[in-house]
């Protein structure tokens, strides 16, 4: 593995972008200084660019095993590194659902053989696998679908939910898809005559999200159990979160996705079922409230909920079309574009997409550009203007809800544990990511 010296960039180091050089040796960062030893290293001229710690996407669905016509660990991780993402945490609603140690170990072996980025996996909760959850090893956390979505995982029985919080290690992250199954079903029954796209956002409305987030909040408090609320879609549910950046002191952390910040129910007109996901898009006021919560540190991380479905599957009516959008390869560009528009700073992006995810999930040697940390690095051109095009997507489903949108700010090169895996459209086909370790 060659050593690299990345020279001339502004490097995110100790909370700000600074003119520094970074040297990698093998899979680690060897030096970060105004001028580093160049002997034996390949020097990369990064003048005018910004160097971020590798982007960490803590919420993706890569569909392997079982639904590999939509994506697999190879295509999903290829899209990841093309989008500047060096590490991902993958969800258990594959086929079969990853609900046992044996199935987790299988996914880890598959990823080791084909993933371009570093990988970690959630174990899925069911109503009766609490023993597996309590004993699970090599997992980033426990995923609970409190409401049904893609796949068959669902735990909505309050007794079963209580048992999971009571009987699993308190420090292990429980990550919840927080929507209230009962209210959602009542709404669906009441609205079943409707055929417009926006009905989806009424079936799973703000109250549906708020009730489940409250339930998860109460369980976390009762059992003093670490909780992460996935994909917040409403301003209202953020009332349960504590503002500030002291993640290690927080019992409850929360995440938002770019689409909940940048899209609202007005998108159905243009996108139809391509804008269908769970939880659904909400109002413009929710967009604003989620930005505010992010700025306040009430929401800690940005992740994508990358959830590919084919265009054929999406070409059904609003009730039948599957929920989810491919997102991993444009999330950094979307957020850089938001920074270019003055909605946030580049330093905040490094916090929300690198440091905070590493801290929330206690990822070893990740999230920071520091000697001894993994050489996961994302080199970015904040001035490049490029249009998102379906035909240029690396996800297997080859479409993006952002098709046709011009964005300012794109990743140029991606390093995964010291290997230059992506360089402006070309990949190092031999390089592989590694299993993520947890502190
Ligand atoms: O929109 C969604 N898609 N929400 C989920 O909860 C699951 C995901 C998927 O796996 O398709
Ligand atoms: Zn979800
Ligand atoms: Zn998800």
Ligand 1 pocket, mutate which of 66, 147, 278 (most atoms under 8 A from CB): 278
Is 317 one of the catalytic residues? no
Q: Ligand 1 within 6 A of 282 CB?
A: no
Q: What's the CA-to-centroid distance between 149 and ligand 1, angstroms?
A: 6
Which residues lie closer than 8 Å to 295 by C-beta, 6 or more apart? Answer: 344, 348
Mean pLDDT of 161-174: 98
Identify the burial level of 8 via C-beta atoms within 10 angstroms of its C-beta, where 0-12 means exposed, 13-18 middle and 19 or more buried: middle
Which pLDDT score, from 0 to 100, does residue 1 have? Answer: 83
What pLDDT digit, counting tens, does each position of 214-265 carry? 999 999 999 999 999 999 999 999 999 999 999 999 999 999 999 999 999 9
Judge whether residue 425 has pLDDT over 90: yes
Q: Ligand 1 within 6 A of 3 CB?
A: no
Task: Name the CATH topology of 55-360.
Answer: TIM Barrel (3.20.20)
Beta-strand relationship, 3-7 and 174-177 = unpaired
Q: What is the mean pLDDT of the chain?
A: 98
Name beta bridge partners: 228.
Answer: 175, 253
- Which residue's C-alpha comes closest to atom 7 of ligand 1? 150
| Dist. CA 420–CA 2, nearest whole Å | 9
Q: What's the CA-to-centroid distance between 275 and ligand 2, angstroms?
A: 15
b/e string for 255-285 if b means 16 or more Cβ within 10 A? bbbbbbbbbbbebbeebbbbbbbbbbbbbee
Q: Return the domain boundaries, the chain.
A: 3-51+371-394+405-427, 55-360
Mean pLDDT of 290-305: 98
Q: What's the CA-to-centroid distance between 298 and ligand 1, angstroms?
A: 24
Phi, psi (deg, nearest 5) at residue 372:
95, -20
Q: Ligand 1 within 6 A of 277 CB?
A: yes
b/e string for 332-345 if b means 16 or more Cβ within 10 A? bbbbbbbbeeeebe
Q: What's the CA-to-centroid distance between 356 and ligand 2, angstroms?
A: 20
Q: Which of 376, 332, 382, 422 is nearest to 53 (CA)?
A: 376
Q: Ligand 1 within 6 A of 278 CB?
A: yes
> Which residues lie at CB < 5 A from ion ligand 2?
177
Token pair in block for residue 231? 């994909």
Query: Given this chain, do its domains 3-51+371-394+405-427 and 55-360 carry the same CATH topology?
Result: no
| Dist. CA 105–CA 99, nearest whole Å | 11
| Dist. CA 244–CA 259, nearest whole Å | 23
In the DSSP assignment, the letter for residue 306 is B
Contact criterion met (CB below 8 Å) for 328 and 83 = yes
Which numbered atom of ligand 1 lies nearest the CA of 63?
A: 10
Name the superfamily (CATH) of residues 3-51+371-394+405-427: Urease, subunit C, domain 1 (2.30.40.10)
Phi, psi (deg, nearest 5) at residue 400:
-145, 140
Contact criterion met (CB below 8 Å) for 80 and 251 = no
Which pLDDT score, from 0 to 100, does residue 266 have? Answer: 98
- Active-site residue, from 305, 337, 376, 381: 305
What pLDDT digit, counting tens, does each position of 366-417 carry? 999 999 999 999 999 999 999 999 999 999 999 999 999 999 999 999 999 9
| Dist. CA 72–CA 76, nearest whole Å | 6
Which pLDDT score, from 0 to 100, does residue 46 have? Answer: 98
Q: What's the CA-to-centroid distance between 277 and ligand 1, angstroms?
A: 6
φ/ψ bin of 39: left (φ > 0), alpha (ψ from -120 to 50), beta (otherwise)? beta
Q: What's the CA-to-centroid distance between 34 and ligand 3, angstroms?
A: 41
Element containing residue 142 per DSSP (H, E) = strand 141-145
What predicted TM-score, i.e. pTM, was given to this entire model? 0.98
Name beta bridge partners: 56.
Answer: 87
Q: Where are the alpha helices (DSSP H) in 272-355?
A: 284-296, 311-314, 331-340, 346-350
pLDDT above 90: percentage of residues in the chain: 100
SS3 category, 289: helix
Q: Ligand 1 within 6 A of 61 CB?
A: yes
Which numbered atom of ligand 1 lies nearest the CA of 177?
A: 6
Contact criterion met (CB below 8 Å) for 242 and 298 = yes
For tokens 């929507």, the residue is 179
Which numbered atom of ligand 1 lies nearest the CA of 323?
A: 1
Which of the ligands is closest to the CA of residue 149? 1
Which residues lie closer than 8 Å to 93 by C-beta, 6 or more apart? Answer: 61, 124, 143, 145, 149, 150, 151, 152, 153
Instruction: Tell me the angle at which helices 206-223 and 181-190 cross, rounded to the nearest 10 degrees.
Output: 170
Judge whether residue 331 has pLDDT over 90: yes
Q: Which of 380, 379, 272, 378 is nearest to 325 (CA)?
A: 272
Q: Ligand 1 within 6 A of 273 CB?
A: no
């Amino acid at each position: 593995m060659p050593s690299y010296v990345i020279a001339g960039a502004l490097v995110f180091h100790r909370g700000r972008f600074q003119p520094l050089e970074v040297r990698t040796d093998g899979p680690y960062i060897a030096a970060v200084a105004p001028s580093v030893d160049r002997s034996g290293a390949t020097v990369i001229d990064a003048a005018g660019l910004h160097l971020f710690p590798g982007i960490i996407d803590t919420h993706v669905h890569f569909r392997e095993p079982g639904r590999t016509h939509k994506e697999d660990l190879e295509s999903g991780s290829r899209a990841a590194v093309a989008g500047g993402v060096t590490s991902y945490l993958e969800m258990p609603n594959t086929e079969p659902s990853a609900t046992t140690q044996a199935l987790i170990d299988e996914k880890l072996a598959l990823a080791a053989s084909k993933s371009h980025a570093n990988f970690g996996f959630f174990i899925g909760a069911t109503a009766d696998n609490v023993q597996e959850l309590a004993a699970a090893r090599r997992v980033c956390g426990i995923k609970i679908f409190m409401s049904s979505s893609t796949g068959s995982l669902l735990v909505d029985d309050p007794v079963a939910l209580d048992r999971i919080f009571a009987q699993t290690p308190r420090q292990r992250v429980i990550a919840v898809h927080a929507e209230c199954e009962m209210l959602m079903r009542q709404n669906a029954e009441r609205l079943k005559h409707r055929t417009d796209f926006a009905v989806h956002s009424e079936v799973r409305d703000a109250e549906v999200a708020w009730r489940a987030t409250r339930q998860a909040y109460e369980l976390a408090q009762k059992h003093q159990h670490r909780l992460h609320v996935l994909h917040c879609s409403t301003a209202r549910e953020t009332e349960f979160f504590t503002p500030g950046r002291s993640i290690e002191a927080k019992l409850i952390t929360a995440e938002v996705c770019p689409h909940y910040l940048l899209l609202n129910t007005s998108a159905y007109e243009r996108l139809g079922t391509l804008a269908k996901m769970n939880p659904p898009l909400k109002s413009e006021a929710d967009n604003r409230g989620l930005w505010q919560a992010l700025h306040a540190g009430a929401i800690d991380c940005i992740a994508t909920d990358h959830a590919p479905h084919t265009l054929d599957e999406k070409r059904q009516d609003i009730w039948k079309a599957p929920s989810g959008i491919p997102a991993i390869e444009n999330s950094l560009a979307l957020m850089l574009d938001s920074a270019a528009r003055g909605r946030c700073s580049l330093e905040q992006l490094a916090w929300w997409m690198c440091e905070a995810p590493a801290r929330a999930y206690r990822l070893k040697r990740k999230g920071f550009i520091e000697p001894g940390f993994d050489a996961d690095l994302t080199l970015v051109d904040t001035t490049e203007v490029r249009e998102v095009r379906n035909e240029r997507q690396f996800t297997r489903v080859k479409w993006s809800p952002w098709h046709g949108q011009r964005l300012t700010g794109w990743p140029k090169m991606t390093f995964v544990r010291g290997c230059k895996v992506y360089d402006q459209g070309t990949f190092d086909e031999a390089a592989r990511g590694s299993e993520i370790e947890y502190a």
